[in-house]
Amino acid sequence: MNDAFSAAHRAHASTEGVGRLLPAHAGRLMQAELEALDAALSNPVRPVAAVVGGSKVSTKLALLGNLVGKVDVLIIGGAMANTFLAAQGVDVGRSLQEAEMYDTARTILAQAKAAGCEIVLPIDAVVAEEFRANPPTRIVPIDAIPAGSMMLDVGPATVAALIERLPTWRTLVWNGPLGAFETPPFDAGTVALAKAVAAATDAATLRSVAGGGDTVAALRQAGVMERLSYVSSAGGAFLEWMEGKTLPGVAVLMDNTKTVMK
């Protein structure tokens, strides 16, 4: 009985090897996880939106490439958004970005357009000249980031626009914060959106599935962990599932052709 979805992306003896020798079944927690993930991307109620944040495009390239073919709207936040904005000619000042990923970002934008997936990027930003807790900050349009400043959170206009669109979505998948949520006040955008997603889930107008270490921490910080439809604590396994990869620990449970040891 395998109840360890968080280790399902590893072909370990305990998660995959023994399942090829003995009758293998999912435990109740594994079952709940797989059913939630299936309802989020494999057989979702549409329209489907995905929120993807984080610091680097390079670490979530496979994820973005998979999602543009599966969701109707892809919201990109965190420092990843800086790379996408800069790739389109926006001056993001001293914001964290990956210049070597500009071509990749433009390719993803083109793939999304071809697939009919709308890419949503920030329209305003909370900026500061230094990255620390509670520094002097400014809210500026995305095309007016000062040369000496860093974008450290999405601005209130961006959050308001996302919240306004929540009633138009039926399913939401979330991986990664919108800003540097660990350092106040740059958690404001993530917290505000999390509370709005929780309210829509409470009202039964939205199915919300979230996962990943930073995402879980951000939802806990916002006080809404128990109010989303499902929150996965599986970091690597959740990410690889969103990337469309086969998880060995799950695949062996679905394999009816294996020879069972007598």
pLDDT at 119: 98
Q: Establish if 218 belongs to a structural domain.
A: yes
99 lies in which domain range? Answer: 31-245
For 56-94, b/e burial (b = at least 16 CB within 10 A) is ebeebbebbbbbbebbbbbbbbbbbbbbbbbbeebebbb
pLDDT at 262: 37
pLDDT at 256: 53
pLDDT at 245: 86
Q: Establish if 49 belongs to a structural domain.
A: yes
pTM: 0.90
pLDDT at 259: 45
Residue 85: phi and psi, rounded to 5, are: -65, -45
Q: At what angle do helices 102-115 and 78-87 cross, to 10 degrees?
A: 90
Question: Count of domains in the chain?
Answer: 1
Encoding tokens for residue 201? 């889930």
Beta strands 138-141; 124-128: pairing state: antiparallel
Q: Establish if 7 belongs to a structural domain.
A: no
The CATH number of whichever domain residue 92 belongs to comes to 3.40.50.1260
Q: Establish if 150 belongs to a structural domain.
A: yes
Q: Establish if 261 belongs to a structural domain.
A: no
Residue 49: phi and psi, rounded to 5, are: -120, 150
- Local mean pLDDT, 10-residue blocks, the chain (262 residues): 90 90 90 88 93 86 90 96 96 95 95 97 98 97 96 98 98 95 96 98 96 90 95 84 88 68 38
C-beta separation of 154 from 181 below 8 A: no
